[in-house]
Structure 1
Amino acid sequence: MSAMNFFEKFGFAGYLDNYSPYEDFSVEGENLVKQIHLYGTKVWGEPGPIGSFCPDQDSTAEERFLLSKNQQEEQQQLCPGFGILDDLCLDVASLPFQSSQVEIPKFACVQTENSEPVKPNKEEPHAFPLTSFGILKDHGSRVRQLKEGKTIVPTYDTACTELDGRKLSTETIMRLAGEKFIQSSAQRVDDPFMINHPFSSSYIGLSDEEAKDVELVQYLLASAEKVGQQQFDRASKLLNHCASLSSRIGNPVERVVYYFSEALQEKIDQETGRIRPKGFGKKHLLDLEDALRGPNVSIIEVHQKVPFSQLIHYAGMQAITENTAEAKKVHIIDLEIRSGMQYAVLMQALASRCEGPVELLKITAIGTTAKPKIEETGKRLMSFAQSLNLLFSFNVVEVSDILDLNENLFELDAEEAVAVYSSYLLRTMIAGSDRVEHLMKVIRNIKPRIMLVSEVEANHNSPVFVNRFLEALFYYGGYFDSLEDCMDRNDSHRFFFESVCLFNTVRNIIAAEGEERITRHVNINAWRAFFAQFGMKEIELSSSSLYQASLAVKNFACKSSCTLGMDGKCLIIGWKGTPIYSLSAWKFL
């Protein structure tokens, strides 16, 4: 279909139209006092003006951008089987697993624990490494206390089958299975059917489906343990049982187990030499990364129905607007531009701000590949800017290797207010730390007013395979749960997103090692330690930015399950208590 019809069909629902600028706030003196509930936490502060983000009653900025009439290019079809998660797939390991390690090559000051991969213990074939037990146990309490006493997530009582009329969340099922797996660690489970018997009485209070799901996850945990101990024949037997009970079209637990089982089997095949194609890990991720530069019908559908990316877009663009408020010229340097949808929000804000519209908005996109697709994104943005009578410039800085990037390649103007936007890019550079270090030095020389960083809030970079597996299991359990609540089970776009985007990210985390493992999510604390090396200071997101996120989430039917909270000055977006994404703001000292 043409791009015009494509965007008409998959336009974005507006979320600010039905809310007044100061809804849920009360006035006390000259300050607006917080009363707004961010679905799992509260926000403290003094909101600034946010009227510039209120679109007209007919359409939002994103809708009008997607409906731009100059978009006549054909929608590119993405080839299944490639893989990395697009900007919707993000999460920084935000659960404070004190027992797990963060492996960041050359980031010596970031790593606080020095651990070595645990060798298989053939005398105790069912014993997880102690750190892995710690990960399972850390999920026993779902109330996470953050700095200043703020609570990011609600408490879920696993003793009850239903919570406020809802079934147990996928993450809760995972945690119950982990607790029971710890209890069964001393018993042999070579025969899959030996898992059921010891704990049948402990399933009292669970529905039949929930009890089966808990057992299914136990089989998966047992198979991961065997893989970690290089007992591949035993692991394969358990995985065969997982395959017979799981399904990629079933409930979210069955779907998670299906894809994790596939990734585990692929790791077994590589470890045993059955398959070992050169460049296996990188090819899938890089090809998908290239294909997802630009509009994709399934990604847009997920964006429309699952709240995560929209919350980040609105909060992030509000932060940029505030930090460039008085500037006549605004220059955004985007480290990994894709569809560029977030800039429709920014353009509308800049075109209607109280201080008067900007004289020029310039966006510079950095790319090492796919320059034609980046240029197509620029054309769509140019068309939208013209509809707002906003003077706009779009440039591409293409380098064959990020190590070739330098500040002289940017067309910088002394009158410009420069902001840097990094969306789910930095975690792909951790494997080659010299590149991310070089990039940060270049950005420092540019001296931006603000740098916005959105990343996956998870720790999927442990050198210990079992630890990495467990962290990923809990994280993606939460992500699959969000898709279950926000989309139909038979939705083809959901199937694409799970089978291509999420699965190929999972398989890279689990099956790949060394330089082939590109997906290396780390949490906000790891990024803080790393950024400190470059004289970067974290700045607080304003109440207006948080308010924009709170308004955005209200547009979704699943709003009560989406949790917003603060980790210090960083916004954490979660799902039923599982952190999914982070958004942080930085300045250079």
Structure 2
Amino acid sequence: MQPQEQLNYSDNGFSGATTSAKNLDKNELSQWVEHVTKQLIEDLPGNENENLSTQNFPVAYEEGGSSLAALLAESRPRKVSRRSSNENPGSIFLNQNQQCDDGTNFDGAKIIMKSKSSSSDEQGLNLLALLLECAVAVSVDNLGEAQRMLLELTQMASPYGVSCAERVVAYFAKAMSSRVMNSWLGVCSPLVKFKDIHAAFQVFNNVSPFIKFAHFTSNQAILEAFHDHDKVHIIDLDIMQGLQWPALFHILATRAEGPPHVRLTGLGSNMTVLSETGKHLSNFARRLGMMFEFYPVDKKCGDIVDVSELQIRGGETLAVHWLQHSLYDATGPDWKTMRVLQGLNPKLITLVEQEIAHGGSFLDRFVSSLHYYSTLFDSLGAFLPGEDPGRHQVEHCLLHREINNVLAVGGPARSGEDKFKHWRSELSRNGFLQIPMSTNSMAQAQLMLNMFPPANGYSLVQGDGTLRLGWKETGLYTASAWTSVNYPFR
């Protein structure tokens, strides 16, 4: 294990950028999703809302409200017209100016407008249109029609497809199939293969700036909070393999005032993985000559009944770190996790959120996640060629699992627990004050991002005390820092 995370990005990765990524000035795929979903809703029978504009539409699903569900509550989905089975395989896709069964003219030319995509990209966009139709069917419990469309999608879309759109559709179709099956059979709780997830997470950490962004910005905030403190304690709400901590340990060990005594409490669901993580981190800290203790807790944060379970000691400066993801439920019910955070009364909470809606209706979650993951797939496609095994590992073991977890796990009623729309707003309402991310955090993030050619479309924005990293004008990860209003030494 090296003292710092290595930012080794080969030139070959960038040479594999797709032609469409080079030509587009913004995320045209996500913009296209907004256009198509808007038209699908407007074309539903009985929809009288003629004033829904494209400009206002994204707010409806990004805010996670019930506007989409309200529009669809009493409506049935349109059916896509099918051609003869004797025609070529591509004929089942929605074509420009094709009419649907209810007579609606689906003007594909107007929707795609300025698209410069190749034929494979256009095929992927047609598949996306069918996927959106399927989501509407699921949202109104027309599961038979949804299943028929899913059969077509799973036959025509491949996770190894040339276009990002086709790959996105393939994984969303799998998740939608699980959702339909769960609706018939009940709650689904798939096994978590931690070994596969952690291996793919390491690959993602090496080929994309998003995980490093989370690590670097959080480490900088923690470093500043620990200044002049000789006893510090970090609680990681989902430590996984602890990839971010060696870099912080290295900096703490070289402080002018000397290294502090560091304790790290790592939460997770697998004691074997936790023990291995603790062993690696302890060995690394020993080589640095730093006093270090690791305490594993094989529980979710929301399952903690008393904060004493987290080995809190007097005289220590406490920081809590949470890198959120959608791979599995890492913390339990949100309200219980908030209760634990309030009980800990930490000097610092570092929070990195995915800009994706986990709550709300199925259609709210579907549109939000399709917008989010089409952007993320596009960013990977610009960095890695379609046949790259690392890219497939990330898409299959990480992104596919996240998509499935957002859309399918838990069945129609999900867990029954309300999910916070944004943890940032909930923290501000529950006794925490935001600490603006410092200029040093911005500098760290920009230095890391400079390892990637600017032409590839990554964007870094500082505002409202946060740092946000995205792709082609779409924010994907937002980092923020917080302190308890009751912390005695703010």
The bucket for the TM-score relative to the shorter chain is 0.7 to 0.9
Q: Name the CA distance, whole Å, in 1 between partners of 2:449 and 2:209.
A: 6
For the pair 1:353 / 2:255, whether they are aligned, the reply is yes
TM-aligned CA deviation for residue 388 of structure 1: 1.1
Residues 307 and 553 of structure 1 are in contact (CA less than 8 Å); yes or no, is this contact kept in structure 2?
yes
Match of 1:134 in 2: none
The letter of the residue matching 1:460 is H
CA offsets, 1:355-381, max 9 Å, x none?
Answer: 3322x11111234x3122212101100
CA offsets, 1:247-291, max 9 Å, x none?
Answer: 2111211100111122223333444x3xx2x642x234xx23x44
Q: Name the CA distance, whole Å, in 2 between partners of 1:473 and 1:236.
A: 19
TM-aligned CA deviation for residue 479 of structure 1: 1.0
Q: Name the CA distance, whole Å, in 2 between partners of 1:190 and 1:327.
A: 69
CA offsets, 1:422-450, max 9 Å, x none?
Answer: 121799669964xx333333333332211
For the pair 1:365 / 2:261, whether they are aligned, the reply is no
Residues 424 and 455 of structure 1 are in contact (CA less than 8 Å); yes or no, is this contact kept in structure 2?
yes
Q: Name the CA distance, whole Å, in 1 between partners of 2:420 and 2:216.
A: 23
Question: Are residues 415 and 581 of structure 1, via their aligned partners in 2, closer, same or farther at CA, if it must alter by over 3 Å?
Answer: same
Match of 1:260 in 2: 172
The two structures have a TM-score, normalised by structure 1, of 0.63
TM-aligned CA deviation for residue 492 of structure 1: 2.2
Q: Name the CA distance, whole Å, in 2 between partners of 1:218 and 1:14.
A: 38
Q: Secondary structure at the match of 1:283?
A: coil
Question: Are residues 307 and 396 of structure 1, via their aligned partners in 2, closer, same or farther at CA, if it must alter by over 3 Å?
Answer: same
Q: Give RMSD over aligned pairs.
A: 4.0
The two structures have a TM-score, normalised by structure 2, of 0.75
More RCO (CA 8 Å, sep 6+): 1
CA offsets, 1:217-239, max 9 Å, x none?
Answer: 22222222233333344434443
Match of 1:22 in 2: none
Q: Secondary structure at the match of 2:61?
A: coil
1:113-132 correspondence runs (5 A): 118-122=72-76, 125=78
Residues 238 and 322 of structure 2 are in contact (CA less than 8 Å); yes or no, is this contact kept in structure 1?
yes
TM-aligned CA deviation for residue 418 of structure 1: 1.1
Residues 120 and 228 of structure 1 are in contact (CA less than 8 Å); yes or no, is this contact kept in structure 2?
no
Question: Are residues 405 and 422 of structure 1, via their aligned partners in 2, closer, same or farther at CA, if it must alter by over 3 Å?
Answer: farther
Q: Name the CA distance, whole Å, in 2 between partners of 1:576 and 1:424.
A: 22
1:500 to 381, 397, 412: 397
For the pair 1:248 / 2:159, whether they are aligned, the reply is yes
The letter of the residue matching 1:249 is Y
Give ranges in structure 2 of 5+ residues lacking alignment.
10-24, 27-55, 81-92, 486-490
CA offsets, 1:183-222, max 9 Å, x none?
Answer: 98xx525899x86887699578654344333323222222
TM-aligned CA deviation for residue 403 of structure 1: 3.5
Higher helix residue share:
2
TM-aligned CA deviation for residue 496 of structure 1: 2.4
Q: Name the CA distance, whole Å, in 1 between partners of 2:470 and 2:66.
A: 26
1:149-228 correspondence runs (5 A): 187-188=99-100, 206-228=117-139
CA offsets, 1:272-324, max 9 Å, x none?
Answer: x3xx2x642x234xx23x4468xx43321221111100111111101100111
Residues 157 and 170 of structure 2 are in contact (CA less than 8 Å); yes or no, is this contact kept in structure 1?
yes
- Report how many residues are paired: 426
2:350 to 442, 448, 452: 452
Match of 2:481 in 1: 585
CA offsets, 1:166-197, max 9 Å, x none?
Answer: xxxxxxxxxxx99x99x98xx525899x8688
CA offsets, 1:63-100, max 9 Å, x none?
Answer: xxxxxxxxxxxxxxxxxxxxxxxxxxxxxxxx994323
For the pair 1:554 / 2:450, whether they are aligned, the reply is yes
Q: Secondary structure at the match of 2:59?
A: coil
Seq. identity, %: 24
Give ranges in structure 1 of 5+ residues lacking alignment.
1-6, 17-38, 41-94, 104-110, 128-176
Q: Secondary structure at the match of 1:344?
A: helix
Question: Are residues 511 and 403 of structure 1, via their aligned partners in 2, closer, same or farther at CA, if it must alter by over 3 Å?
Answer: closer
For the pair 1:571 / 2:471, whether they are aligned, the reply is no
2:381 to 484, 487, 500: 484
Match of 2:60 in 1: 99
